[in-house]
Amino acid sequence: MTRNSDCVFCKIVSVEIPASVVYEDESLICFLDHNPLSPGHLLIVTREHYVKLTELPSDVSSKVGSVLPLAGRALLEVTGAKGFNVLCNEGAVAGQLVQHVHFHLIPRFEGDKLGYRWVAGSYEEGKAAQLTDAFQQAFTASS
């Protein structure tokens, strides 16, 4: 099991630091965010230390995926929220603060002023086709 002795989430996994753990299995733990954006804000964290989502082996990331519906149903039941956001931030530019991959589940309520800043654009002529070609090559090369 890979750990990082300076990592707060590794310390939660190893029970050096207490946390409000609500679910755990062989790959993951899920606990209440200590500084919630709304009541019932959950974090899903890998037991092993990986800094980024893009470093995760696919079997571990598939475990994260498999637990998301379960965690979401629990969240709706417990909090009474009508919806939630799942969020994973990769990299400082994207808001990643703890250097151990984690997924947020954020309960949402009317008028809560949370959510993603949504300023949608569009592609200039030809740009989407160019990106599509590049993405198809990148997916093929790394799969």
Place of tokens 């002023």: 113
Residue closer to its own copies (CB basis): 8 or 74: 74
Give yes or no for residue 58 binding its own copies (CB under 8 A).
Answer: yes
As measured in angstroms, the least distance from the Cβ of 7 to its own copies is 19
Give yes or no for residue 2 binding its own copies (CB under 8 A).
Answer: no
- Name the token pair of 84: 């939630």
Does the active-site annotation cover 102?
yes
What length is written for the chain?
143
Judge whether 30 and 9 are in contact, CB under 8 Å.
no
As measured in angstroms, the least distance from the Cβ of 21 to its own copies is 7
Residue closer to its own copies (CB basis): 5 or 97: 97
Options 3, 4, 11, 108; binder of its own copies; rule CB under 8 A: 108
If DSSP codes are grouped into helix, strand and coil, which group holds residue 98? coil
Query: What's the farthest any 2 CA atoms get from each other in the chain?
Result: 55
